[in-house]
Structure 1
Amino acid sequence: MKNNENEAFLGSFFAGFIIALIPIYTFWFGTLQNPFDYTLSMIGNRFDRMNEFIIWGTISGLLLFLYIINLFREAAFQDKRARRMLVYSTIFLVLTVITPAVEEINRVTHRLHAVFGALFGIFLSASLYFFIRYLRTVDEDVFGRSMIYLNIVILGSVSLFIVFGNNGIFELFFFLALSFFLWLLKRWIYQL
């Protein structure tokens, strides 16, 4: 193999590893307790698994960041605003997992935890939206499919939150569906 082919193979292998690790790790952690009864943060805060929760959130945030930055690079996407939003989303995920979330102990940190979690989702979704909007200039079909999948991730998570309440189902759906969407997006970009 040539040097560029080796780099491409290693990059694809690394990207595949990243995008597989996020849902596997999330599913494992999210099912340590019944996800219909407990969110990921409840598992971390109420079942003496705070360190595991912090490690899960930090690793997942960094892996998402690396994977999405790699997508930006592969598509020659240079928007600084989208990159900043991606950085902010990673910071907010880490802030979410390090902020205690037991309302009975401290209502302020519980609310901060919820705000940080929402800001993580908003900034990540906005970053991906700007990227997908850029893809419209490259390929209209990829743009259309990407918008559908991004909406499935966002609206599916919100719908599950509304239907089932504040439990782990909407969080598991978000991370699993997002990982699948990002895997598809990488394939679509590779085919351009």
Structure 2
Amino acid sequence: MTVLTITAYFIIPVYTILFAWGTNWFTLNFSILGSLADRKNLFLLWGIVVGTYFYYVLKRIIRTLPRNKKEKVCTTLALMLLAMAVTIPYLPDTQPFHAVLHVVLSFAASISLLLSLYLVIWKLYCMNQTVYRPYFISLLLITGVSAVLFFLTGIVSTALEIFFVLSSTFLLHRLYGKVCSPRILWKYQRL
């Protein structure tokens, strides 16, 4: 088992669920949990682990794609926005401007990540529809379920955040295994 596999299937899921453990997943979110004194550093560490994983894996996949400037920009933007979001506290009562900025940055980071995933998977799908159709359909399902979770609660809830992070992590790891397998990389190196 590689470090990426352990991170995708053990570290990120366990850490994400433990971070939200003992809270109401449908009325709270990671921003509120991360503003609590006893979870502030845990939230920062969670952002570092998740952001680094997504950035590293997407970067490795993107370098195999032709004309990949948009994908690089979206991925880098998602990481930068996430880094800023987890370092700005969400304290609406005492720091309303910072709270609004945190929400905007968090939402923008998620949208940038989702856009990056769509750009990458769409390009792969256009290159080989048979192989990458399941990945594209999975991404559509992740988007759909995320939208349903949002409309059920009316907020970006912990349940939505956990679902989105975990399903995207699993999808990205599977995609990484498909795109960056030694057989495929050998083909690109010979070109």
What TM-score does the superposition give when structure 1 sets the normalisation length?
A: 0.83
Corresponding residue for residue 50 of structure 1 = 40
Task: Find 1:176's aligned residue among 163, 166, 174.
Answer: 166
Say whether residues 1:63 and 2:57 are aligned partners. no
Q: Whole-Å Cα distance in 2 between the matches of residues 77 and 52 of structure 1?
A: 38
Corresponding residue for residue 108 of structure 1 = 97
- Displacement of 1:49 in angstroms is 1.5
Give yes or no for contact 1:32–1:43 (8 Å, CA) kept in 2.
no
Q: Whole-Å Cα distance in 2 between the matches of residues 32 and 87 of structure 1?
A: 33
Distance 1:17 1:78, change over 3 A: farther
Q: Whole-Å Cα distance in 1 between the matches of residues 44 and 125 of structure 2?
A: 37
Extract structure 1 runs of 4+ deviating beyond 6 A. Answer: none
Give yes or no for contact 1:72–1:78 (8 Å, CA) kept in 2.
no
Corresponding residue for residue 95 of structure 1 = 84
Give yes or no for contact 2:125–2:136 (8 Å, CA) kept in 1.
no
Structure 1: runs of 5 or more not aligned? 1-11
Structure 2: runs of 5 or more not aligned? 185-191
Distance 1:26 1:97, change over 3 A: same
- Displacement of 1:124 in angstroms is 0.9
Corresponding residue for residue 86 of structure 1 = 75
Say whether residues 1:26 and 2:9 are aligned partners. no
Give yes or no for contact 1:18–1:67 (8 Å, CA) kept in 2.
no
Corresponding residue for residue 5 of structure 1 = none
AA aligned opposite 1:111: V
Distance 1:49 1:173, change over 3 A: same
Please report the RMSD computed on the Cα atoms of aligned residues, expressed in angstroms: 2.0
- Displacement of 1:108 in angstroms is 1.3
Task: Find 1:72's aligned residue among 56, 62, 77.
Answer: 62
Say whether residues 1:124 and 2:113 are aligned partners. yes
Give aligned-pair identity as a percent.
25
AA aligned opposite 2:12: I
Distance 1:60 1:32, change over 3 A: farther
Give yes or no for contact 2:90–2:98 (8 Å, CA) kept in 1.
yes
Q: Whole-Å Cα distance in 1 between the matches of residues 147 and 106 of structure 2?
A: 13
AA aligned opposite 1:66: Y
